[in-house]
């Protein structure tokens, strides 16, 4: 199994361009099932999760043509409803995104339980409840068997603002008969991209970016062409890497308009950046001082649905806090295993108290020492990579397939910024 060897303490400098947004690419690829016309997608990230989704779609009869490394033509002329490969589904959470479009196009699919990151229970009840409101019937016997005679628009209140459940409900609704009102919808940038992509093909989705979507069903969708935007999670990872290595980097085509809340949170840890059009410039003279609450109280960073601070950036923020002067409490109520990677940071010398599965207190700054470790999930794996970049000595990170699931050629990008990193 591949591993990274990193010699820390080297400031990152130069320019980098983030890859396409994984969390936009996956639902958009699934949504290609909704039309029998060709779709050309640009800026597809070359990562493991995207290739797993491609394999799942190919098993359903979808044809692919690679026009270049990041441009695919996708053509779902004929769809063959079937039980998805359990092993492929075990590798990716986004396999569940095939439920909505397959029901809209074919009325049937058998879906093994989805896998993905091991960060605690990730319920699928919200997906099921939304699809049932549209007329879907479900049987469960180790796998989910979804079927429907016809999808009919409905007034749906999601019991949580789940990103993937919102995406499934959107994809099922665009070809449903009548109008769907989707309330308590998630509104992340990748959901907005999915809506824009579908509207580009003839869907009628209103109030994009809000938590109440109005979707008027249409009889069919055309083909089209679409460019996937930058991955803001990768952008923030580079911001964090630059800050804690005391480097200065420019992130090209970074879509800074999506990072307003992230900027507020990072500012509280003494990290700031400048914006020049679509580019972000991270200077080397970072304060790296945690701003306390009034009366010198310990500040809390808590994840919340968009546009608040996203759970997928919690691991990166914790590593940044280990290098900032002061104390901060981090709270991720969404996933009970998100914080468990902090034991690796403690072994490197970080001063972190894990209060419970959802909360930890970080006191910084602390000198991090190189270590041999493994990344348990995509975001924790990237966070440990950042820690290794700032640590004294040579670190080894194993299980880097987790990082490769969400970050395209991250070792090459970091090496171009001056990092001492080797894949072996």
Binding residues for phosphoenolpyruvate, as ranges, are 22-23
**Catalytic position from the list 46, 68, 85, 117:** 117
d(CA 352, CA 350): 6
- Find residue 359's DSSP bridge partners: 331, 356
DSSP conformation class of 363: E
Task: Report d(CA 230, CA 247) in Å as an integer.
Answer: 22
d(Cα 87, Cα 391) in Å, to the nearest integer? Answer: 37
Binding-site positions? 22-23, 93, 312, 334
How many residues belong to the chain? 424
What distances in angstroms separate CA 343 from CA 50, 222, 405, one per listed residue? 30, 50, 22
Kindly give the residue spans of alpha helices, DSSP state H, lying in 38-149. Answer: 48-59, 86-90, 99-105, 125-133
Rounded-to-integer distance, Cα 286 and Cα 350, Å: 20
Q: Which residue has the tokens 């008027």?
A: 216
Task: State yes or no: is 404 an active-site residue.
Answer: no
Task: Please say whether the dihedral angle defined by the alpha carbons of residues 78, 83, 87 and 92, taken in this order, is positive or negative.
Answer: positive
* Sequence ranges of the binding site for UDP-N-acetyl-alpha-D-glucosamine: 93, 312, 334
> 177, 217 in Cβ contact below 8 A?
yes
Closest by CA position to 168, among listed 42, 54, 26, 333: 26
What is the β-pairing status of strands 224-227 and 39-42?
Answer: parallel
Q: Which residues contact 311 (CB under 8 A, 6 or more apart)?
A: 303, 332, 334, 335, 338
| Contact indicator for 82, 59 with CB cutoff of 8 Å | yes
CA separation for the pair 312, 257 (Å, rounded): 18
Residues with catalytic function: 117
């Amino acid at each position: 199994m591949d591993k990274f060897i990193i010699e820390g303490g080297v400031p990152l400098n130069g320019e980098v361009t983030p890859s396409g947004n994984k969390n936009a690419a996956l639902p958009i690829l699934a949504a290609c099932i909704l039309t029998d016309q060709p779709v050309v997608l640009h800026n597809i990230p070359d990562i493991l999760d995207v290739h797993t989704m491609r394999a799942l779609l190919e098993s359903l009869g979808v044809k692919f043509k690679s026009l270049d490394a990041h441009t695919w033509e996708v053509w779902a002329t004929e769809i063959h409803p079937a039980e998805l490969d359990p092993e492929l589904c075990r590798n990716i959470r986004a396999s569940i995104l095939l439920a909505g479009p397959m029901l809209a196009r074919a009325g049937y699919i058998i879906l093994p339980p989805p896998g993905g990151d091991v960060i605690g229970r990730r319920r699928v009840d919200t997906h099921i409840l939304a699809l049932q409101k549209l007329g879907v019937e479900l049987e469960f016997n180790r796998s989910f068997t979804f079927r429907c005679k016809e999808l009919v628009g409905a007034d749906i209140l999601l019991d949580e603002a789940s990103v993937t459940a919102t995406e499934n409900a959107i994809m099922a609704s665009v070809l449903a008969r009548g109008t769907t009102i989707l309330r308590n919808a998630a509104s992340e940038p990748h959901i907005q991209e999915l809506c824009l992509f579908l509207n580009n093909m003839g869907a009628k989705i209103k109030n994009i970016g809000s938590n109440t979507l109005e979707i008027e069903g249409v009889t069919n969708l055309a083909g089209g062409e679409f460019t996937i935007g930058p991955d803001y999670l990768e952008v923030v990872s580079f911001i964090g890497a630059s800050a804690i290595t005391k480097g200065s980097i420019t992130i090209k085509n970074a879509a800074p308009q999506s990072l307003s809340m992230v900027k507020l949170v990072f500012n509280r840890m003494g990290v700031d950046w400048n914006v020049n059009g679509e580019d972000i410039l991270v200077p080397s003279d970072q304060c790296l001082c945690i701003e306390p609450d009034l009366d010198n109280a310990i500040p809390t960073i808590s994840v919340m649905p968009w546009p608040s601070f996203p759970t997928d950036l919690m691991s990166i923020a914790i590593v940044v806090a280990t290098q900032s002067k002061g104390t901060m409490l981090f709270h991720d109520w969404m996933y009970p295993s998100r914080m468990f990677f902090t034991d690796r940071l403690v072994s490197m010398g970080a001063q972190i108290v894990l209060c419970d599965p959802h909360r930890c207190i970080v006191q910084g700054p602390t000198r991090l020492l190189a270590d041999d470790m493994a990344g348990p999930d995509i975001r924790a794996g990237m966070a440990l990579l950042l820690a290794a970049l700032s640590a004294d000595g040579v670190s080894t990170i194993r299980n880097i397939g987790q990082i490769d699931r969400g970050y395209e050629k991250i070792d090459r990008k970091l090496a171009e910024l001056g990092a001492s990193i080797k894949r072996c």
